[in-house]
Structure 1
């Protein structure tokens, strides 16, 4: 693995601190002499220290000292996003040249970042970029399994959606992977496996098992009642977590797959207030996670909700693993999930060229290849612009007759000007073909019936979404499409629940008192990130009103 090539992103990811910034860090850190060969932290293990190199040199390495990711000299700081989020390290740090470092505890660092926003922004921005760069150079744990295994695809999706550095060895193509399995004594039926940094072997782990090893998942509290449980960690859910925890509410956040929700799969959000240059869904999610964690919210991933019921004035959320979380208030922010495309070959090639997200993780599998995107909304528009950065040609396949029907004007203008984007209106996918992965897409003009085969190494699908509310069936009122009506829309349908309280549902309240719905899962909501964030903040204000009615829980 080569050292990272100097680029604008690399320079931003590895800045040098100023004298003033180092002085701020000295106020809560300790200077330490380090010798050649000393390890400051090791891949696969948690570290609770933030290091600044004062003199000497420290190499960040992967697997062994020969695989150098980056060399840090004086005024550089070590670490990446996992340090702020309590995850294990994905790389190791070894002293190359003896010198001196400044060590700051991770808890003290988080407190410092809240008091010194300028320094905090430098560190957080660098950490976000480092996480992306680590993915690009193939660091992290290894997933070894067949491309045709559903469990392999499950682990790959989990790693990608949670933005975890990882490598995949395909048993169908990689002879070294097969030899490695023999050395480890792993039978084919035990695959896929995850090979952890310390050479520990996880045989077909569940997402929850892998999350525990990485540090994503903490033990869900089984006793006591929290003020607020947020189900779903998209923009609306994370906003509720930030505002709830910052206002002193004991807050637990649950998500079945990953933080960020549907927005986290977006390569660039360009119409979100305050980010004139745009922001990726990944960066927005990671910033919100760090912010919520700093205020004391607990974020558990994966933790999938299986049901909801009310007992003794509180709401109990049942989890698929058998656990429960009880809270005075619940914010449902489970959002909506992209619909699957119905065409021959789609299911076979999911994860092998058919994708329902367009981030750096998916894009790296088809760099410099012709690709196709299905959809006519903003998500599809953002995807084609992102993919066209490196792909020689991107086909945008739209069932309707005009982009203006569902796409924002600023995206349309850029798409129409881009020389490598080819818009095909009145076009539908009829089949996806290939040997071991997607090689071509059969499309049809839905007016004339004329068919054409488009060479494409990947197909990205953004064709609308369905609400993630199956776990709420029978618990709260749903509309005919499965979305959750709130406020006046549900008042008459659930009148019996409100009679004891002598009031009607609050603006975002569902058919159950103290249960609120925000974002895409809510009936008649505006499907925009800013709207979901605003509703998440508003739900916390309404939760305070409900707490005022029923009183704070006696045992938290």
Structure 2
């Protein structure tokens, strides 16, 4: 029986079907043919004319094969990995003979750029299918780890940010123990990722990305128009505007798309979202938008160095691979700082967190927690955790909660009975066994200290720019990159004089190298401002390389 029409399976008109067919080639299929299978690294968009297809989740160690959808004439086959390049989650098998049209990846890209109506229909459907896959195909990637492990948390966070269809198993739970025994792995090998019959031990996001086709795997020396380093709001905006305006654009991120914004549970003052939007949802949509316009996103992908001595800027990745780029936008953002307390590193991932998403909230649900910080990110995290049932202490070093936080957040925090605000206060000690169990707060005005039970400490303080890998570029005393009018003309020497121009808006002391978002000196440290900077930097890129939209 064919799967019913829905957001993931829209009904196309005859005119729309005819246009879609024009991008493909007709082929005949027989019962038992496989159109694509789990693990394939590329496949065609398929439009069914007169056949039927089963979409199958293949059997794993602990679950049998399952038919998750059935499609017939007028339906198309494909998922969001048509854009991302990720390996296939599911297998498509022909159950009755007939004819279909195969639309190659290049032709699919043409649809995205040439036919707004079909592009919109396909994109909405592919996004809806990815959401459904979180349930139906979740056993395609199985992750086993400890909830008290920072390595396991990093892997789960990566999978969640990229919306990978995966299933998490607690290594201490009955199902996790059984799966470990079935796979023949020991606790010392955690975290473990199971991909069908393949077992990845001591797995990292990089290992997983490599196996599912999301790491950078193109020939060294590739030449592109624009390389964007960092996939937070600024970097995503630069990628969207660069790709949509015809630049061959590559976006690289060391951890996963979203940056600090992806750690925000709800952003309520972002234009166009009156009911608020989570940081992960906002940046996830931006990633799809960049992919739609032809940008290529690789994550995790760490840049080791940048060489400006060549005709093109030379971006060197951690494995030595080089990308030669006419222009580069650095949007690596800033990292929250750790507190200089004994045993801090012991509890990272086991009670100390730098994000407040559903993953972290589940780990501390209903338990007393503390949020440290006085900016919007801390306020948003506090409200989110309180909504999840935890009594929350918000610890602010300054005297006034309104100094750095938006009024709407302050008003809600002060009105919430689950939230206790401590101003002029610092966390001065942490304690516990395998995980965090208590903290000590000290009021700097009175000198009084008090120990409190605490299972989660969420740290949103300070900001260290992610520029330690960068040399030969002017920055301020804290490492934030100087741009345009902030640059000292004397320090520029003859570099720009030989070009007959001054640094463009958002351009650094290196011609063709731009900075946007939190990594830039003088930035506003707000999501909307970062998006604006990323888009504006691309306008300067066009001027620098002589290519105009």
Q: TM-score, normalised by structure 2?
A: 0.83
Check whether the contact 1:72–1:78 (CA below 8 A) recurs between aligned residues.
no
Residue 497 (1) aligns with residue 492 (2)? no
Check whether the contact 1:62–1:91 (CA below 8 A) recurs between aligned residues.
yes
1:455 to 430, 445, 453: 453
2:496 is paired with a residue whose SS is: helix
Give, in whole Å, the separation in 2 of the partners of 1:365 and 1:44: 32
Judging changes above 3 Å, is the alpha-carbon distance between structure 1 residues 312 and 15 closer, same or farther for their aligned structure 2 residues?
A: closer
Residue 200 (1) aligns with residue 192 (2)? no
* Greater Cα shift, 33-42 or 342-351: 33-42
Give, in whole Å, the separation in 1 of the partners of 2:142 and 2:126: 22
Residue 84 (1) aligns with residue 83 (2)? yes
Give, in whole Å, the separation in 2 of the partners of 1:35 and 1:450: 78
For residue 331 of structure 1, report the CA deviation from its aligned partner. Answer: 1.0
For residue 341 of structure 1, report the CA deviation from its aligned partner. Answer: 2.6
Q: Which residue of 1 aligns with 2:477?
A: 480
Check whether the contact 2:150–2:348 (CA below 8 A) recurs between aligned residues.
no
* Greater Cα shift, 113-122 or 215-224: 113-122
For residue 501 of structure 1, report the CA deviation from its aligned partner. Answer: 1.6
Q: Which residue of 2 aligns with 1:325?
A: 323
Give, in whole Å, the separation in 2 of the partners of 1:421 and 1:79: 46
Check whether the contact 1:61–1:93 (CA below 8 A) recurs between aligned residues.
no
Give, in whole Å, the separation in 2 of the partners of 1:276 and 1:168: 33
What's the Cα RMSD here? 3.9
* Greater Cα shift, 433-442 or 55-64: 55-64
Residue 536 (1) aligns with residue 534 (2)? yes
Judging changes above 3 Å, is the alpha-carbon distance between structure 1 residues 69 and 460 closer, same or farther for their aligned structure 2 residues?
A: farther
For residue 354 of structure 1, report the CA deviation from its aligned partner. Answer: 1.7
For residue 483 of structure 1, report the CA deviation from its aligned partner. Answer: 0.5
1:15 to 7, 10, 13: 7
Check whether the contact 2:254–2:302 (CA below 8 A) recurs between aligned residues.
yes
* Greater Cα shift, 99-108 or 482-491: 99-108
Judging changes above 3 Å, is the alpha-carbon distance between structure 1 residues 387 and 116 closer, same or farther for their aligned structure 2 residues?
A: farther
* Greater Cα shift, 410-419 or 323-332: 410-419
* Greater Cα shift, 35-44 or 149-158: 35-44
Check whether the contact 1:334–1:521 (CA below 8 A) recurs between aligned residues.
yes
Check whether the contact 1:260–1:281 (CA below 8 A) recurs between aligned residues.
yes
Q: TM-score, normalised by structure 1?
A: 0.82
Q: Which residue of 2 aligns with 1:210?
A: 208
* Greater Cα shift, 277-286 or 57-66: 57-66
Q: Which residue of 2 aligns with 1:159?
A: 159
Q: Which residue of 2 aligns with 1:8?
A: none
Give, in whole Å, the separation in 2 of the partners of 1:57 and 1:250: 36
1:311 is paired with a residue whose SS is: coil
List runs of 5+ in structure 1 lacking aligned partners. Answer: 1-10
Structural mapping, 1:73-222, within 5 Å: 81-90=80-89, 105=103, 107=105, 111-112=110-111, 124=123, 139-145=139-145, 151-171=151-171, 173-174=172-173, 177=176, 180-181=179-180, 184-186=183-185, 190-196=189-195, 198-222=196-220
Judging changes above 3 Å, is the alpha-carbon distance between structure 1 residues 53 and 278 closer, same or farther for their aligned structure 2 residues?
A: farther
1:469 is paired with a residue whose SS is: coil
Q: Which residue of 2 aligns with 1:7?
A: none
Q: Which digits, 9 at most, give the CA deviation of each residue in 1:185-237, with x for residues without a partner? A: 546655443211x2201233454332121221232442353222111111111
List runs of 5+ in structure 2 lacking aligned partners. Answer: none
Check whether the contact 2:161–2:284 (CA below 8 A) recurs between aligned residues.
no
1:405 is paired with a residue whose SS is: coil
Residue 24 (1) aligns with residue 19 (2)? no
For residue 178 of structure 1, report the CA deviation from its aligned partner. Answer: 5.4
Check whether the contact 1:26–1:102 (CA below 8 A) recurs between aligned residues.
no
Aligned residue-pair number: 535
2:43 to 40, 43, 48: 48
